[in-house]
Amino acid sequence: MSEALSPLHEAVTVLDEAWADADCASDLSRPELMAANAAIGALKRRVDALQVAVAARIAHESRADLGAESLAKKAGFRNSAQLIAASCGVSAGEASRIVKTGEATAPRTNVGGEPMPAKYSAVQAALSSGSLGATAAGLIVAFLDRARVGAPAEKVTKTEGLLVERAVGLSLDEVRRLITRATAVLEEDKLEAREEERRAARIATMFEKDGNFHLNLVTPVEEGAAIKAAVDGYVTAQFQARKAALDAGEIDEADADRRSVAMMRADALAVVCAHVLGCETKTPLVGATVIVRVDADALDSGVGYGTIDGVDQPVSIAAVRRMAAGTGVIPCVLDGAGEILDWGRERRLFTPAQKLALVERDGGCAMCGLPPSMTKAHHIRWWRRDAGPTDLSNGILLCESCHHRIHDNGWDIRIDNPPGTGRRRADGRRGTGVSVRARVWFVPPANIDPSRTPRLGGRARYDIAA
């Protein structure tokens, strides 16, 4: 058996064992479904690694200088991307991305013919080991190709390693989120200029058609944050009102609010605008506050970036200062003096200041990533059953769905808090504070994962700066 194909055969063997004697997926038990799904994922990543390697070689054998001897042209295609697109059933654009990923991770030689490592050796190693799929690898390669222009080689290499390490086990949406944050690490000096470009391109169009009012808005994230907070606050309030009415027996499922989230967002804009015009005396909003976070040193020096709760795109220090000067925005400066954050058993409910601190660690729902406005601070060790304190080290942000899933299905939560990071209590003793370097781990029940391997949660899952 070829050494290159050995990992692929091993992955097929694992899938064969997971499938066991079942004739179809409906014959699999829940543990067998989980095992089969994991095996399919591993198999796909192994195939991906082979595909990008083959694609890179096809591109090499189809290069322009070969003329009529080009492999693609001999096969009846204009270029390698068209050949791969036709054989794999993907678009030409996707085929081009596969080729670029293959070329960036293929072995190279110098002018003397001596072997050299791949352009992105960390990505190549992750592909070869089966820990990273081709699409995620392609996103990382595309970002590094953009970011390496004008950036120190050492910084690009370090960022590549961090991206690959953090991307393992993430969905593509989370990888994109990870790359968005990595932009601030490699391109913080370009953030302000790009914000000015986006600000110059802002636009709002409004027109009526077929009895509907159409609104299209494009605006920089630092200005759109207030809109997002207000709209999400309204949606959260509607969901909470619906749940409260159902729990109280005031309505049944048949009478419950059936609006979709998209419908609620449209209603939210109308309600907020009507409120501004004075037609409403009360606007139901939950968590409709914009929090902008920044390191104190970055704020003082003007070098660095900030983040907005619920928004992926980092913002420049200039944007942070503009936002902090506006109304309805809470600037959260890390390492600055603030409210006491540890209350022990003196209080059952977490304070707003504690939730702000937890957002710094968790980023939103620590399990699924929903924005902070859709979460609540919960005790890891329960207040009543375990006599758990209302301290940050015992707190976690969870949305309602994940909160029930963890308790109902037997998940455990572990917080790795670096020593010496607690805040001072009012009496001068060191409290059990939360650190931005702390990591949240979710330990699945044995029926989901027999090995109970912890899964990284919170901001550290997708934030390269965490």
Which stretch of DSSP H or E encloses residue 232? helix 221-247
Q: Specify the residue for token string 């990923």.
A: 101
Q: Which of 382, 305, 383 is nearest to 347 (CA)?
A: 383
pLDDT in tens, 413-454: 998 865 444 444 333 344 444 555 678 999 999 888 888 999
Q: From residue 90, how far is each of 71, 82, 138, 310, 412 by CA, in Å?
A: 19, 9, 15, 34, 41
Asked whether 393 and 343 are in contact (CB, 8 A), the reply is: no
Distances (CA, A) of 322 to 137, 283, 325, 329: 36, 26, 5, 10
Q: Looking at residues 34-58, what average pLDDT do you find?
A: 90
Average the pLDDT over 60-77 and give the result.
Answer: 92
Picking from 234, 223, 308, 239, the residue whose alpha carbon sits closest to that of residue 269 is 234
Residue 337: pLDDT band by 50, 70, 90 thresholds? very low
**For 382-410, how does the pLDDT look when each residue is reduced to its tens digit (9 = 90+)?**
877 777 888 788 889 998 888 888 877 88
Asked if residues 418 and 435 have their Cβ atoms less than 8 Å apart, the reply is yes
Compute CA 226 distance to the chain's CA centroid, rounded to the nearest angstrom. 21
Q: What is the pLDDT of residue 422?
A: 46
What is the number of helices (H) and of strands (E) in the chain?
16, 13
Cβ neighbour number for residue 385 with a 10 Å cutoff: 8
Torsion of Cα atoms, 371 then 373 then 375 then 377, to 10°? 120
Q: Over the stretch 146-184, which tens digit does the pLDDT of each residue have?
A: 888 878 888 889 999 999 999 988 889 989 989 988 887
Question: Please, what is the average pLDDT of the chain?
Answer: 82
Indicate if the pLDDT at residue 339 is higher than 70: no
**C-alpha neighbours within 13 Å on the C-beta side of residue 427:** 4
The least confident of 23-27, 67-71, 89-93, 298-302 is 298-302
More confident residue, 31 or 167: 167
38 touches 169 (CB < 8 A): no
Q: Is the pLDDT of residue 284 over 90?
A: no
pLDDT in tens, 341-361: 455 555 667 888 788 888 888
Q: What percent of the chain has pLDDT over 70?
A: 86
> What count of Cα atoms within 13 Å lies in the side-chain half-sphere of residue 101?
29
The residue-averaged pLDDT of 241-251 equals 84
Task: Indicate the SS3 state at residue 117.
Answer: coil
Task: Tell me which of 92-96, 136-140, 232-236, 354-358 is least confident.
Answer: 354-358
Q: Report whether pLDDT(189) > 80.
A: no
Polymer length in residues for the chain: 466
Measured CA to CA, the distance from residue 124 to residue 136 in angstroms comes to 12
Write down the domain spans for the chain.
Answer: 6-189, 203-276, 290-334, 352-461
* CB contact at 8 A, 443 and 454: yes
Question: What type of residue sits at position 401?
Answer: S
